[in-house]
Amino acid sequence: MNRIDRTFKRLKAQRRKAFIAYITAGDPDLATTLTLVREMPDSGVDIIELGVPFSDPIADGPTIQAASQRALAKGATVKKILGVVKSARLKTDIPIVLMTYYNPVLRYGLKEFFSSCRKCGVDGVIVPDLPYEESADLVAAAREEAVATIFLAAPTSTPERIKKIVSKSRGFVYYVSLTGVTGARRALPPDIGAGIRRIRSVADKPVAVGFGVSSPEQARALARVADGVIVGSAIVKIISDRRNAVARVSKFAGKLAKAIHSVQS
């Protein structure tokens, strides 16, 4: 049982839902990323997703694309990001998940990548552009190092596909709340609850929902139907402004955490 599993088990015992916060590693710089990772638990964040910047993303909207470009321009690399996680582990035990694309993982080397993840303290990996049909090598390498592989299910996923996604997933299943790319939305689709119920009918693991969550009110609503709520673009947008970014992210994260944790299962 790794940190992700322990966190969901603890929250379930407390009848609380998980708040999962996404930030792009290296934006505006790696030092700020390290500070955010260390301070986010104090704001009520339960799990941190660190986005690995990539030059040709397919799932990210304009806010995270811009953050990735800034991070790459500042010299962010997979190796340096793993170094940030290793440094963070000196002061925090919060679960950390890397969200990356397959190309950087393949370039690093599958075995080497997951070995480095384990040694540095990464608990799970999300690779949105790798379908489960082509994931056997990655899943095997991750299992060998006890790193969770978290796959995405979409509103368009068929029941049969959901079963296969669930079978490959460890830690939690990531439910994409809408079709399209990441980005804060003023309103979310009304059928999210039905989508989550479809996954739960075949899943024996937590379901976390993301893509589009932009406010405490939306986060609270989703916490009523999911085991965890993922917020990314709304946080990344605050960081992009740079002015007192850490303090402002901490304040916003605190509001999101309060909203999500107010919902009891």
What is the three-class DSSP state of 52?
coil
60 is catalytic: yes
Give dist(CA 165, CA 151) in Å, integer: 6
Comparing C-alpha atoms, which of 223, 235, 256 is closest to residue 64? 235
Active-site residue (options: 27, 60, 123, 227)? 60
Active-site residue (options: 27, 46, 49, 123)? 49
How does DSSP assign the chain, residue by residue? --HHHHHHHHHHHTT--EEEEEEETTSS-HHHHHHHHHHGGGGT--EEEEEPP-SS-SS--HHHHHHHHHHHHTT--HHHHHHHHHHHTTT----EEEE--HHHHHHH-HHHHHHHHHHHT--EEE-TT--GGG-HHHHHHHHHTT-EEE-EE-TT--HHHHHHHHHH--S-EEEESSSS-----SS--TTHHHHHHHHHTT-SS-EEEESS--SHHHHHHHHTTSSEEEE-HHHHHHHHH-TTHHHHHHHHHHHHHHHHHT---
Give dist(CA 135, CA 132) in Å, integer: 5
Active centre residues (catalytic):
49, 60
